[in-house]
Amino acid sequence: MAKKGQIDVTISVKVMTGKREEFIQAIRSLKGDFVKKVKVGKPILYQKIDDRTVFSLVCELGNEEDLKVLEETEEFKVLMGALKVLCQESDIRYSYVYRNEPAQPWMSPEPESGETEAGQDLDLSGPEPPEWQH
């Protein structure tokens, strides 16, 4: 049976020089509260291998209602404030993730002769990068 799509919130940042540890501490202190208050998968923090000041925080949400709840939490507001103080750059992206959903015509190239028509199960899950360890 196909899983329904979910929403991923990806917060990408470049932390200011000298603020890396403070940023990591802020994420650690808030991440447990997100999971308790919102239907969110375990938030995962990634660090760029060749630049220890570039991070991405990914949260998996069940649906748009969960996203609204997340954005209204005090913890999310505190995180947004911390990003303003600790980061040179920040970007927040909201993405629908489809895993094992039937392909939509706009998701698939036109089938060539002998290929299966659009509408077959499309598995976009793929391997995920390893969780950043602190």
In a domain, 30, yes or no: yes
115 vs 59: which has the higher pLDDT? 59
In a domain, 37, yes or no: yes
Tally of domains within the chain: 1
In a domain, 115, yes or no: no
CATH number of the domain to which 76 belongs:
3.30.70.100
Q: Is the pLDDT of residue 16 over 90?
A: yes
Q: Is the pLDDT of residue 114 over 50?
A: no
Lowest mean pLDDT among 57-61, 94-98, 124-128: 124-128
Domain limits for position 59? 6-107
Give the angle subtended at the CA of 32 by the CAs of 29 and 38, to the nearest 5°: 130
In a domain, 20, yes or no: yes
- Would you place residue 101 in the very low, low, confident or very high pLDDT band (cuts 50, 70, 90)? low
d(CA 16, CA 104): 42
Q: What is the DSSP string of 45-87?
A: EEE-TT-TTEEEEEEEESSHHHHHHHHHSHHHHHHHHHHHHHE
In a domain, 121, yes or no: no
d(CA 66, CA 88): 28
pLDDT of 65-85, one tens digit each? 888 888 888 888 988 999 999
In a domain, 132, yes or no: no
In a domain, 123, yes or no: no
Candidates 83, 81, 106; CA nearest to 96 is 106
